[in-house]
C-alpha cells in the first residue's frame, strides 16, 4: 500500500536559512574559566555549591547508614553517591581559595 501525497496550493515548507549572525561558541580548555569570576551569579558561586554538596553528602550518607543497619545492599549505592558528593565538595573548597 502506498501513501497518497496531495499538493496543497499556497503552502511551501519552511526553507533552511543559515544563521550568519549567530555567535560562535568558543570551547574553553580544560580548567579554564569561560566566564570572568566577577560576573558569576549566586548559583554559580563556589560557596553555594559547597553548601549544597555538604548537605547532599551528609543526607545521602545518613540514608546509606539507615539502609546498612537494615542489612540492605542498597547501602553501597548510597555510600558511593555520598562519596561522589564529598569529592565534589573538596573540589569546591579548592575553588574557594
Cβ(49)–Cβ(38) below 8 Å? no
Q: Which among 77, 53, 56, 75 is positioned nearest to 64, based on CA atoms?
A: 75
- Report d(CA 53, CA 84) in Å as an integer: 9
Q: pLDDT class for 22, splitting at 50, 70, 90?
A: low
Report DSSP state, residue 35.
S
Kindly report the CA angle at 52 between 69 and 58, in degrees rounded to 5? Answer: 15
Cβ(96)–Cβ(50) below 8 Å? yes
pTM for this predicted structure: 0.57
Q: What is the pLDDT of residue 86?
A: 96
Indicate whether 61 pLDDT > 70. Answer: yes
Amino acid at each position: 500500500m502506498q501513501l497518497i501525497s496531495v499538493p496543497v496550493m499556497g503552502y511551501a515548507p519552511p526553507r533552511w536559512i543559515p544563521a550568519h549572525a549567530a555567535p560562535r561558541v568558543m570551547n574553553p580548555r580544560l580548567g579554564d574559566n569561560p566566564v570572568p569570576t566577577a560576573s558569576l551569579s549566586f548559583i554559580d558561586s563556589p560557596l553555594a555549591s559547597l553548601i549544597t554538596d555538604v548537605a547532599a553528602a551528609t543526607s545521602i550518607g545518613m540514608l546509606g547508614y539507615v539502609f546498612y543497619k537494615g542489612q540492605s545492599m542498597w547501602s553501597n549505592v548510597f555510600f558511593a553517591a555520598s562519596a561522589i558528593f564529598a569529592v565534589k565538595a573538596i573540589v569546591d573548597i579548592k575553588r574557594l581559595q
